[in-house]
Structure 1
């Protein structure tokens, strides 16, 4: 992303225990059809816990909600923590994301690497 985009995460499971957390606003740093990187001040201790949740975001017109799993956590820029999430997407969802990313790249709102 040229500028981080607001999105939301809701934790649904920690170490196999189901829970129903509230939505927390986070910054979307980058995204691909398989995963994304977010930034927040929340320390979720992901290195010692298996954390699953739902990521809600709006790239352009349509709002999406995807199942996600936190794969890694790093404190790159204190007080913020960066998290790598794998997104569990259906093939149709992957195609929608690709189309939206191409449109955002065309509008120069994101940088393609």
Structure 2
């Protein structure tokens, strides 16, 4: 994580067990989202992390779809937010390595193409 940040790489770490992520990884994450937790241990862990950043999340076990607690560097204490549910298409299976390479090349070509005014 530290090496990735050093080179400007953005990473997403997702877990259902907040205490399962090493504290050095968490300390390198400047933006955090916490969704609904259902197990008492994970509720307590999420509340502890949020409290360490100056917030409270007494309702984290009752959040609805699209509701999260959010904090980022310099934002102050974590706050609750509501986001729209993703309406994009997601196929049943992940792309193959060949599809990922093809899409990356196409994206790079679009990004480097001269833009007309």
Q: TM-score range by the shorter chain?
A: under 0.3
Name which one, 1 or 2, has greater alpha-carbon Rg.
2
- TM-score, normalised to structure 2, is 0.24
Structure with greater strand share of residues: 1
- TM-score, normalised to structure 1, is 0.24
